[in-house]
């Protein structure tokens, strides 16, 4: 460090440390309610702490990579793609993924139509296939704006859609969860199914982005 009269964070061994995270988070009413309910259920032997932890671990093990495998299969196997659009629960089951809580419907992006998914009422999301939704998906700003000015929101994600393309905003208001089937990027003709799956992003399956062309 060369600064002799500038303030700096060097403390003698060549790097700065991040400050510790203070554990001073204030819980909301519903967070406290949920903690109290969990503690009561454990106290009354309805569930055990280990069961709660295992459930959270099982949830955390579901990632967008599961959805990416489905998309890649649909790109390489037209018959699978047809089955996915016809009955997505059954089709993802072929790859070993189980939709335990909801009906899954796949919506396909084409040259003429682009799909994007929201839940304006809460945070409905195909969790059984993609895991937990990103924080922005649950934000009031996204939920309000994607139905009101969807093209402006997509632009903020770097997605430019021509006016010739019909934008379909799917509001997950009831029992159906939507999975966007993105268009296969150009330049991927020689890729294997596994290589294709590695290209598929979470945001492209929500529909806020399209997949980049592969150089």
- Residues designated as active site: 119, 122-124
Residue 197, number of CB atoms within 10 A of its CB: 20
Asked whether position 165 contacts another protein by CB under 8 A, the answer is yes
12: left (phi over 0), alpha (psi -120 to 50) or beta: left
CA torsion, points 177, 201, 185, 125, in degrees to nearest 10? 10
With CB under 8 A as the rule, give the number of residues binding another protein: 25
Using CB under 8 A as the binding rule, whether residue 173 contacts another protein is answered as: yes
In the complex, least distance from residue 163 CB atom to another protein, rounded to whole angstroms: 4
Q: By CB under 8 A, is residue 156 in contact with another protein?
A: no
Q: Which of 23, 24, 57, 163 binds another protein (CB under 8 A)?
A: 163
Nearest to 104 by CA among 115, 93, 119: 93
Residue 54-93 contact track with another protein, rule CB under 8 A, x = bound = ----------------------------------------
* Three-class DSSP category at 90: helix
By the 8 A CB rule, do 141 and 88 touch? no
Among 30, 175, 213, 215, binds another protein (CB under 8 A): 175
Question: Helices marked H in 3-87 — which ranges?
Answer: 29-43, 49-60, 64-76, 78-86
150 binds another protein (CB under 8 A): yes
Which of 172, 201, 204, 209 lies at the binding interface for another protein (CB under 8 A)?
Answer: 172
In the region spanning residues 119 to 148, those forming contacts with another protein, defined by CB under 8 A, are 120-121, 147-148
Which one, 132 or 165, has the nearer CB to another protein? 165
**Sole binder of another protein in the list 62, 85, 95, 176 (CB under 8 A):** 176
Contact region for another protein (CB under 8 A) — 30-38, 158-166, 192-200, 204-212?
158-166
- Any residues with CB less than 8 A from the CB of 128 and at least 6 apart, and which? 62, 97, 98, 99, 100, 101, 102, 104, 177
């Amino acid at each position: 460090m060369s600064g002799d009269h500038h303030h700096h964070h060097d403390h003698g061994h060549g790097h700065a440390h991040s400050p510790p995270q203070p554990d001073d988070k204030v819980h909301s009413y519903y967070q406290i309610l949920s903690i109290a309910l969990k503690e009561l259920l454990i106290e009354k032997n309805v569930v055990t702490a280990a069961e709660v932890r295992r459930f959270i671990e099982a949830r955390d093990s579901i990632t967008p990579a599961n959805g990416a495998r489905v998309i890649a299969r649909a790109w390489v196997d037209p018959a699978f793609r047809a089955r996915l659009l016809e009955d997505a629960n059954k089709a993802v089951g072929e790859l070993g993924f189980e939709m335990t809580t909801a009906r899954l419907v796949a919506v396909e992006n084409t040259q003429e139509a682009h799909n994007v998914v929201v839940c304006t009422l809460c945070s409905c999301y195909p969790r059984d296939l993609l895991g937990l939704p990103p924080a922005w998906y649950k934000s009031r700003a996204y939920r309000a704006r994607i139905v009101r000015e969807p093209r402006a929101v997509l632009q903020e994600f770097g997605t430019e859609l021509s006016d010739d393309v019909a934008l379909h905003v799917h509001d997950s208001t009831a029992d159906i969860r939507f999975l966007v089937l993105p268009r296969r990027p150009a330049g991927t003709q020689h890729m294997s199914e596994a290589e294709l799956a590695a290209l598929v992003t979470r945001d492209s399956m929500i529909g806020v982005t399209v997949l980049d062309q592969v150089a």
